[in-house]
Structures are given as structure tokens and as C-alpha cells.
Amino acid sequence: MGTELESVLVSKEQIDAKLAEMAAAVDAEYAGKDLLLVGVLKGAVMVMADLARALSNPVTMDWMAVSSYGAGTQSSGVVRILKDLDTDIQDKHVLIVEDIIDSGLTLSWLLSNLGSRGPASLNVCTLLRKPDAAKVDIDVKWVGFDIPNEFVVGYGLDYAEKYRNLPFVGTLAPHVYGG
């Protein structure tokens, strides 16, 4: 572990085991149905890649990129679409794949946006969730790990675009972000 990282919060082994469990649940839930996985760029890339490969049923995948308006690292809940889906989701079974739910404001916006497009069903799975940071109540069907309200990096999550390629989720040493 480099000196910039403080600790490993969720190991690669824990992530692999949890995604295998989640994939089995997703396979069971959508058996006999066409499922579209919607990944939220960029953070969800690793979760999407590993979850999708752990599924037995064939699925389709699409991506959205959104950005939260407002200064700083706090989510404002006002969201701008940077990249919309390539596909029409009307009458489709849609599962949003997220890396992390923090305040929940981004996801809440996304749920109402995608919900208005008339999907047959709309659910959410996320690798990580910070229960203590929640500002809105969101019904999340599958959660990998509830974690403390700390800034985390790795496995898709970044600090200033770095650390996304770590195979685990870790916390940063305070000196890295000026703490």
C-alpha cells in the first residue's frame, strides 16, 4: 500500500465475494426477463465490469454520465446530464449500477429522471453506501457494504481522478487532501 493510503476498508476478496452474492440475487430476480444494466460513469465502471461478469444470464449495458452542480465536493442534488443513455428504456427492466451512495441526492434525481421514461421496472444496486450521510431516503434493492462517513477511493472511486484503478476500497491519508 502506498504512503498516500491510510487503510484498506474493503478488500478485493470481500468485493469479489459480495459481487458474486449480488449477481446470484440479480440472476434470480430477473430470470426470464431482459435486463439492462445502467452504469453511472465514471465511478461505477469497476462494479459494472465485475458484477456483469459474475452474472449467468445475458444482459445489456448502457452508461450515463452526470455531474452535480455546485462548488466543492458536496452533492447539490441539481444534476446535469453529461452523457445520456444510448438506448430507449421504455418497457425495459432497468438496474442502475452505482459505486457509492453518499447523500443520495444524485441517485434520487437519476431515479426520477429514468423513472419518467417508462421502464418496466427500475431498481438500484450499489457496492457502497454511507448511511450516516444520507439526505434522502432511497429504496436500494442491493447494497454491498455500508461504510462509515469517510472519503474513500479505489475500485472506481477517485480523489482528483486518481486511485480509480486500485483493486480495493481504501481511505486516504489526511496529508493527501490537506488534512
Q: How far is the CB of 6 from ligand XMP (least distance, A)?
A: 13
Binding residues for ligand XMP, rule: CB under 6 A, are 43, 75, 99-107, 151-153, 157-158
Q: How far is the CB of 48 from Mg ion (least distance, A)?
A: 11
151-155 LR contacts (CB < 8 Å, sep 24+): 151/73, 151/177, 152/9, 152/100, 152/128, 153/5, 155/10, 155/15, 155/46, 155/47, 155/99, 155/127
Active site residues: 102
Single out the residue of 15, 22, 26, 43 in contact with Mg ion (rule: CB under 5 A): 43
Longest dimension (CA), the chain: 51
168 binds, among Mg ion, ligand XMP, none (CB under 5 to 8 A by kind): none
Alpha helices in 42-135 (DSSP H): 45-54, 105-115
- Write the interaction track for Mg ion spanning residues 84-103; mark x where CB under 5 A is met and - where it is not: ---------------x----
Of 22 and 152, the one with the shorter C-beta distance to ligand XMP is 152
- Please name the residue that has the C-alpha cell 449467468: 56
Contact window for Mg ion (CB under 5 A) among 7-15, 18-26, 36-44, 112-120:
36-44
Angle at 47 between CA 126 and CA 68, to 5 degrees: 60
Of 46 and 89, the one with the shorter C-beta distance to ligand XMP is 46
Can you give the binding site for Mg ion, defined by CB under 5 A? 43, 99
